[in-house]
Amino acid sequence: MEFSGDRFDVVVVGAGIMGSCTAYEVAKRGEKVLLLEKFDFLHHLGSSHGESRTIRATYPEDYYASMALESYRLWEEAESEIGYRVLTKTPHLDIGPAANKSLQCLIANCEPNSIHAHLLDRSRLRDMFSGAFQLPEQWIGVATDAGGVIKPTKAVAMFQASAIRRGAVLRDRMEVTDIKRDEEGGGIWVSAATGDRFWGRKCVVTVGAWMKKLVKAVSGLVLPIQPLHTTVCYWKIKAGHEKEFSPEAGFPTFASYGEPYIYGTPSLEFPGLIKIAMHGGYPCDPDRRDWASGFGAPVDSVIPWIERVLQGRVEAGKPVVEQACMYSMTPDGDFIIDFLGGEFGKDVVVAGGFSGHGFKMGPAVGRILAELAIHGEAAGFDLKHFRLRRFGEDPKGNAKEFEDQVSYPNHE
Ligand SMILES: Cc1cc2nc3c(=O)[nH]c(=O)nc-3n(C[C@H](O)[C@H](O)[C@H](O)COP(=O)(O)OP(=O)(O)OC[C@H]3O[C@@H](n4cnc5c(N)ncnc54)[C@H](O)[C@@H]3O)c2cc1C
């Protein structure tokens, strides 16, 4: 293997959106970077594949709003560098019972983050978005301009191409099996199942649903990251209403708070179909997935929601297309972005547990990880909510004043 034995400033392990953005940001800073991936690039076995991810700035937690807005800027910057688009801008709509705590916190976070939000009651919402949303009594809506749909596989490919253009070295079919300190010269040795060994001054680990396994194997530390097998569903729009659900007609990306939390995107990737899915899934082993187990609750719980909210516009019988994917859940739904510590000190940075809402943040996370690896700090970002050791202080992690949004059986 031609690069085995070469020395890099940073070795990034895992080429989903987080690793690919990190490799790009490191290369952009003129450092020598190697990105290693276990499967083929752009595979569909992790979390960053497929046709659509929502970007929105509205969050119940105030620390995500500014990160999402910064990402929005970085998505556009990356698009103008490569010359094509991966993001389709749309409005974003949050709905739910007026008394829902998450929704209330989300509304409270808009103004301090300069997010222009329109608070809508049932009747005002009936006049918007072609009348598609029929809210139950006591429900409200919050509409903002900062929404959009990102094409995930294309976006990962974009960051990989931009990284290569800036001198990054990318290698797939390269499963990392060990990460060790270089006791003689300092730095880190990264070993692959192929027998290849790579040296990096620093190493960044972004292996998604495999974080718990790899970090435990390397350091003995057990990260509370639970992989969830989830299913994305596409539903048929009733004849005559197809255009109303398109981005051209101004249809928004949306999130529906309460139990279950439902999200969706405008009709884009499959004409005549709309993506509507439940935020949740089943615990799984990323190396032993039962591809059929996505059926059941994550799909069934969407049906009554469609009947209730998108009355008469979408066929609620059964989804036309279903696609499997994985979440990496932390107990508090917050990311883990930190130095591994212990014998690795600040030489190994770990980033995982993106808990079903990380894709939009990829460019900002890539920037943070590049700066942590190169400079030992990420200027302008407050990372205290993403500390690895918060779970040692409280196994539930960050305290929240609102309910869980992601549903899955047997919380660990
Ligand atoms: C159905 C679904 C819908 C979602 N919707 C949204 C949304 O609307 N908005 C949003 O912001 N986010 C959303 N997300 C979340 C988002 O997609 C994830 O947070 C994000 O893709 C996580 O990226 P990652 O790079 O951490 O993980 P991954 O994409 O899984 O990348 C990790 C990579 O590491 C590789 N790897 C693993 N082990 C090794 C090893 N030992 N050596 C080398 N490589 C290794 C894997 O093969 C993989 O390619 C959604 C997720 C799913 C599943």
Q: How many domains does the chain have?
A: 2
CATH number for 246: 3.30.9.10
pLDDT recorded at residue 291: 78
HSE at residue 181, side-chain half, CA atoms within 13 A, is 12
The answer to whether residues 176 and 305 belong to one domain is: no
Residue 309 lies in a domain: yes
The answer to whether residues 32 and 173 belong to one domain is: yes
pLDDT above 90 as % of the chain: 89
The answer to whether residues 128 and 250 belong to one domain is: yes
Taking the CA of residue 17 as reference, the ligand 1 atom at the shortest distance is 25
Which of the four pLDDT bands, split at 50, 70 and 90, describes residue 290? confident
The answer to whether residues 239 and 351 belong to one domain is: no
Which of the four pLDDT bands, split at 50, 70 and 90, describes residue 412? very low
Residue at a domain's end among 285, 311, 329? 329
Residue 36 CB–ligand 1 contact under 6 Å: yes
The answer to whether residues 123 and 247 belong to one domain is: yes
Count CB neighbours of 96 within 10 A: 25
Residue 68 lies in a domain: no
Q: Is the model more confident about 292 or about 288? A: 288
Residue 64 lies in a domain: no
Residue at a domain's end among 285, 300, 329? 329
Which tens digit of pLDDT belongs to each residue from 234-278? 999 999 999 999 999 999 999 999 989 999 999 999 999 999 999
Residue 196 lies in a domain: yes
pLDDT recorded at residue 295: 57
The answer to whether residues 104 and 206 belong to one domain is: no
The answer to whether residues 323 and 239 belong to one domain is: yes
The answer to whether residues 220 and 230 belong to one domain is: no
Which tens digit of pLDDT belongs to each residue from 25-35? 999 999 999 99
CATH number for 39: 3.50.50.60
Residue 31 lies in a domain: yes
The answer to whether residues 139 and 27 belong to one domain is: no
pLDDT recorded at residue 38: 98
DSSP 280: B
Residue 15 CB–ligand 1 contact under 6 Å: yes
The answer to whether residues 385 and 297 belong to one domain is: no
| Structural domain that includes position 284 | 89-147+226-329
- The rounded distance, in Å, linking the Cα atoms of 179 and 176 is 8
pLDDT recorded at residue 188: 98
What mean pLDDT comes out for the span 375-393?
96
The answer to whether residues 274 and 343 belong to one domain is: no
pLDDT recorded at residue 4: 60
Residue 253 CB–ligand 1 contact under 6 Å: no
Instruction: Give me 230's structure tokens.
Output: 């989830």
Name, in order, each residue with C-beta under 8 angstroms of 160's C-beta and a sequence gap of 6 or more.
15, 20, 23, 24, 35, 41, 170
Residue 160 lies in a domain: yes
Predicted TM-score of the model (pTM):
0.97
Most informative mutation of 48, 226, 256, 328 for ligand 1 (most atoms within 8 A of CB): 48
Residue 290 lies in a domain: yes
The answer to whether residues 194 and 103 belong to one domain is: no
- pLDDT averaged over every residue in the chain: 94
Residue 62 lies in a domain: no
Among 74, 104, 340, 381, which residue's Cα sits nearest to residue 222?
A: 340
DSSP character string of 222-276: ----EEEEEEEEEEEBPTT-GGGGSGGGTPPEEEE-SSS-EEEE-S-SSTTEEEE
